[in-house]
């Protein structure tokens, strides 16, 4: 199968592209390298340095004519979306529509979209949340992700193009960016390995569902299968608070740094945890095992 992966130089999508390559698929990557890194892209893929908002996407899709588009390119910083919702919508909604129109006109047969769990469900009524949980996004980022899901429904109803939306929990692992649009695991790990002091915002009892990136890539493989369509969670069903996460990382990095607390960030969710979807065929990697792999990767680069 010929697959175009947007954002394929980034943290999650580069693992997805590698998984597709390993299974023998023909992979094309489109990435503007605003946060991704070219060295995350295998030499076995065709790479286009371009943005999903660009008219050039139409030319790329017309030239390559992929069977499937896996869409990961996005503005992924929730706080940045709050500060500048127009920019967030320009990339995450308008950019996605630009991509979908180019894909439709080139004859794409299926979409796979990297959505979000916690930011779409908002403050949960049930723990863990399954895919039937009400959607109540409380940030422009979450609103944009839900909007794109709705637009994919439009493309299915109107043009018959099936889609898979993967609602990710908090993804972590090797290649995660420790700067800018970063996750707590990457930030804490890099700082601790460098002897620097990370900060816990709030009292540290806020919880998240941490899912290892290779488990996420496996779900993207399942999404390729014929007849697979709809919306699926990708998580572990296990809540871990920030204090506990910090404790694991202190141990794994052999650090004795005392991590201070700072005032909580406005609007931060208190709890978020997803019930794993049916595309997760294997039990998720344990947090301890995943953090061990992640720390080893960061240590090799510090």
In this predicted model, what pLDDT tens digit does every residue of 150-178 receive, in sequence order? 999 999 999 999 999 999 999 999 999 98
Residue-wise pLDDT for 227-254, tens only, equals: 999 999 999 999 999 999 999 999 999 9
What's the rounded mean pLDDT across residues 183-190? 96
Domain-located, residue 34: yes
Residue 163 to residue 76: CA distance in whole angstroms: 21
On whether both 58 and 153 belong to a single domain, the answer is yes
In 3-state terms, what secondary structure has residue 108? coil
Q: Identify the burial level of 22 via C-beta atoms within 10 angstroms of its C-beta, where 0-12 means exposed, 13-18 middle and 19 or more buried.
A: exposed
Domain containing residue 99: CATH number: 3.40.50.720
pLDDT value for 180: 58
pLDDT at 189: 98
Residue 188 covered by a domain:
yes
Residue 117: give the domain boundaries.
2-169+210-234
> How far is CA 260 from each of CA 29, 77, 90, 246, rounded to the nearest angstrom?
40, 23, 36, 11
Asked if the structure places residue 280 within a domain, the reply is no
In a domain, 279, yes or no: no
Closest C-alpha among 185, 100, 214, 210 to residue 151:
100
Residue 77 lies in a domain: yes
Q: Is 302 inside a domain boundary?
A: no
Answer yes or no: is pLDDT of 182 > 80: no
Instruction: Identify whether 20 is a catalytic site residue.
Output: no
Do 164 and 16 have their domain in common?
A: yes
- Same domain? For 153 and 109 the reply is yes
Residues 123 and 182 grouped into a single domain: no
Residues 96 and 177 in one domain: no
Residues 146 and 199 in one domain: no
pTM: 0.96
Smallest CA-to-CA distance from 107 within 47, 63, 165 is with 63
Residues above pLDDT 90, as percent of the chain? 92
**Annotated catalytic residue, options 20, 141, 168, 210:** 141
> Do residues 46 and 103 both lie within one domain?
yes
Based on the domain organization, do 96 and 175 belong to the same domain? no
Q: Is 266 exposed, middle or buried (0-12, 13-18, 19+ CB in 10 A)?
A: exposed
- Asked if 62 and 35 sit in the same domain, the reply is yes
- pLDDT tops 60 at residue 181: no
Domain co-membership, 96 together with 216? yes
pLDDT for 266? 75
Residue 79: the pLDDT is 82
Count of domains observed in the chain: 2
Q: Residue 15: what pLDDT?
A: 98
In a domain, 65, yes or no: yes
Spatial distance between the Cα atoms of 149 and 166, rounded to a whole number of angstroms? 10
Residues 221, 180: one domain? no
Same domain, 21 and 111: yes
Is 25 among the domain residues?
yes
């Amino acid at each position: 199968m010929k697959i175009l992966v947007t954002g394929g130089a980034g943290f999650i999508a580069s693992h997805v592209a590698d998984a597709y390559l390993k299974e023998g698929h023909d992979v094309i990557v489109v990435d503007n390298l605003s946060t991704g890194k070219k060295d995350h892209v295998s030499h076995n893929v065709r790479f286009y340095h371009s943005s999903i908002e660009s008219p050039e996407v139409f030319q790329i899709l017309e030239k390559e004519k992929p069977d499937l588009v896996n869409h990961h390119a996005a503005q992924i910083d929730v706080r940045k979306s709050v500060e500048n919702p127009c920019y967030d919508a320009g990339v995450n909604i308008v950019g996605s529509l630009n991509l979908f129109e180019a894909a439709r006109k080139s004859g794409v047969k299926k979409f796979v979209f990297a959505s979000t769990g916690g930011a779409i469900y908002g403050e949960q009524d049930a723990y863990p949340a399954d895919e039937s949980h009400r959607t109540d996004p409380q940030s422009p980022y979450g609103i944009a992700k839900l909007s794109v899901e709705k637009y994919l429904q439009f493309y299915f109803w109107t043009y018959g193009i099936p889609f898979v939306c993967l609602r990710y929990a908090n993804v972590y692992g090797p290649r995660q960016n420790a700067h800018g649009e970063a996750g707590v695991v990457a930030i804490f790990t890099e700082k601790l390995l460098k002897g620097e002091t990370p900060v816990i915002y709030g009292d540290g009892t806020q919880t998240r569902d941490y899912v290892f990136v290779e488990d996420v890539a496996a779900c993207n493989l399942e999404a390729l299968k014929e007849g697979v369509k709809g919306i699926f969670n990708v998580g572990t069903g296990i809540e871990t608070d920030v204090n506990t996460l910090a404790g694991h990382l202190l141990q794994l990095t052999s650090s004795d740094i005392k991590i201070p607390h700072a005032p909580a960030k406005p609007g931060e969710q208190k709890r978020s945890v997803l019930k794993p979807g049916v595309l997760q065929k294997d039990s998720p990697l344990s947090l301890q095992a995943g953090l061990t792999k992640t720390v080893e990767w960061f240590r090799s680069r510090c």
